[in-house]
Amino acid sequence: MPVEYSVWKHETQVWGVKIDAGKFHGTVISINDIGFVDDTPEVTVDFNFINIAPETDPEGSDKLEFDAVLGSIIEDIIKQAIQNHEAGNTDSK
């Protein structure tokens, strides 16, 4: 199921996502780094919470559910980046 989110960017280095719908609506994170684990298809994401949706605990009891939501967002971002690269669009959003 697609997750509704928006990408935000501040200046040249700082960027992240805001979850726009669902249980974590209003949660905002800053992405520090996205990387790949050597010789595996696994992706690592280093991020910080800027805002956490009320009545949620994405670092505790809701962690598995939040990780699934964030995983879907990161997968979508990577797919869009690949499509932009293949289309010759070097302007990242």
User: What is the model's pLDDT at position 90?
Assistant: 57
Q: What is the pLDDT of residues 19-66, one digit of tens each?
A: 999 999 999 999 999 888 888 878 899 999 999 999 999 999 999 999
Q: How confident is the model at residue 88 (pLDDT cuts 50, 70, 90)?
A: confident
pTM of the model: 0.83
User: What is the model's pLDDT at position 82?
Assistant: 87
Closest among 59, 63, 53, 67 to 18, alpha carbons compared: 53
In a 3-state reduction of DSSP, which class is residue 65?
helix
User: What is the model's pLDDT at position 25?
Assistant: 97
Q: Which residue has the higher pLDDT, 93 or 62?
A: 62
Q: What is the DSSP letter of 22?
A: S
